[in-house]
Chain A
Amino acid sequence: MPCLTRYFIKAGLLYFGGGLALVFLSNLLALDEYPWLASATPVYFHMIMVGWITQIIMGVSFWMFPALARDNPRGNERLGWLAWAGINLGMMARMVGEPLSASGTSVFPGLVLILSALLQWLGGLAYVVLIWPRVKGK
């Protein structure tokens, strides 16, 4: 299994565990006493769908999809690392920005959310550019 795939899967597992813990917490605690938790629904949902499911798809497809060429089977790996960094830094920024933005009106959380949007979008795009040429029918 390539190193990049291991990074995708291990980061994915962390988001899966963290996301489930957050689901558990928000079901356990009274939301009106912890306003930051009330903003957690989209956060844990995306920790599971982007942090876990999407990263597993990215990691496993980079590993298993048909080779590009004999001398360059997996394409430009740098794009893969860009995707990994974009998704993970973007998700972390969202995990910080969402509760901060829900509990105040200062400019900082807004900037963190904009950064998160940009990073995740770039990450998704880098992955698609990397994997597209490897999706080829016979």
Chain B
Amino acid sequence: MPSVSSFLIRTALVHLVLGFTIGAILLVGKAVHHVPFQYLPIHIELLLVGFVIQLTLGVAFWMFPRLTTITDRGRTKPIFAAYAVLNVGILCCCLSVFELPLLLGFGRAMEVVAMVAFVLNLWPRIYAFGRY
């Protein structure tokens, strides 16, 4: 597994633990009829973007067909940059629940930039068997 994929996947696993922890707190809240709903957006952000999407991107970069030679997965620097931008975006979206609404817009913009970078870099690696 390339090291950028291991960064993406391990970070996704950290988000899984944090997201499940907040989910468990919310569920215990439901049990005692006192749910801290203000933290629900953090739960959703960590698990949907931080865990599911980030893990998928890490596995995609590792597993998609290689370019020209059997070792060539394309440039890793833009993927490392997109990884950093994505996680700053996630962090900003999470912090925005503490009455910092501007961070939500900034965080979402960072996430979009990161996703565009991922798509542009993964696009050439999606081709039919034997077609390259």
Contact = CB atoms under 8 A, between A and B. Distances in A.
Interface of A: 49, 53-54, 57, 65-66, 94, 97-98, 101, 105, 109-111, 113-114, 116-118, 120-121, 124-125, 127-128, 131-132, 135-138
Nearest first, the 4 closest Cβ-Cβ pairs linking A and B are A137-B3, A137-B6, A110-B31, A113-B31
B101 interface: no
A51 to B, nearest CB: 13
Given A113-B27, A114-B28, A131-B13, A125 B1 contact: no
Contacts, number: 72
B9 A135 contact: yes
Contacts of B20: 120-121, 124-125
5 contacts: A49-B47, A97-B31, A109-B31, A124-B20, A137-B4
Interface of B: 1-7, 9-10, 13, 16-17, 20-21, 23-25, 27-28, 30-33, 47-48, 52, 55
B6 A124 contact: no
B17 A125 contact: yes
B3 A138 contact: yes
A21 B90 CA distance: 32
Chain B CB within 10 A, most for which of A57, A94, A97, A120: A57
B57 to A, nearest CB: 13
Given A49-B47, A66-B1, A135-B10, A128 B55 contact: no
B30 A137 contact: no
Given A57-B55, A121-B21, A94 B4 contact: no
A76 to B, nearest CB: 16
B27 A53 contact: no
B17 to A, nearest CB: 6
Contacts of A53: 52
Given A125-B17, A138-B3, A120 B10 contact: no
B28 A117 contact: yes
